[in-house]
């Protein structure tokens, strides 16, 4: 797990995979250490997602992503 940016990514723009293979991107609203020491990030979606009409999330909705699912981190500052 890459923690070169630290584990708190709040306010940073990230790209990640949701539910294994759905690409998502947006701003991290909240980072936390979950049960068992895993790091999770709550990401506000830049664009909505619709995966086979089974997983539907509108733009601005928040999804929870495991730190290991993040593929790119970009600091807004």
Sign of CA dihedral 34, 40, 44, 48: negative
User: What's residue 75's pLDDT?
Assistant: 75
Q: What is the pTM of this model?
A: 0.85
> Rounded to the nearest 5°, which phi and psi values hold at 31?
-120, 140
Using an 8 Å Cβ cutoff, are 9 and 28 in contact?
yes
**H helix and E strand count, the chain:** 0, 7
Q: Please report, for the chain, the start and end positions of each structural domain, with discontinuous segments joined by +.
A: 13-74
User: What's residue 1's pLDDT?
Assistant: 47
Could you read off the pLDDT of 9-40 as tens digits, one per residue?
999 999 999 998 899 999 999 999 998 999 99
């Amino acid at each position: 797990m890459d923690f070169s940016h630290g584990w708190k990514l709040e306010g940073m723009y990230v790209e990640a995979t949701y539910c294994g293979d759905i690409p998502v991107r947006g701003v991290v609203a909240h980072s936390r250490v979950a049960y068992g020491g895993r790091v999770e990030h709550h990401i506000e979606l830049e664009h909505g997602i619709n995966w086979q009409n089974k997983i539907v999330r509108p733009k601005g909705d928040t999804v929870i992503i495991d730190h290991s699912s993040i593929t790119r981190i970009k600091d807004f500052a």
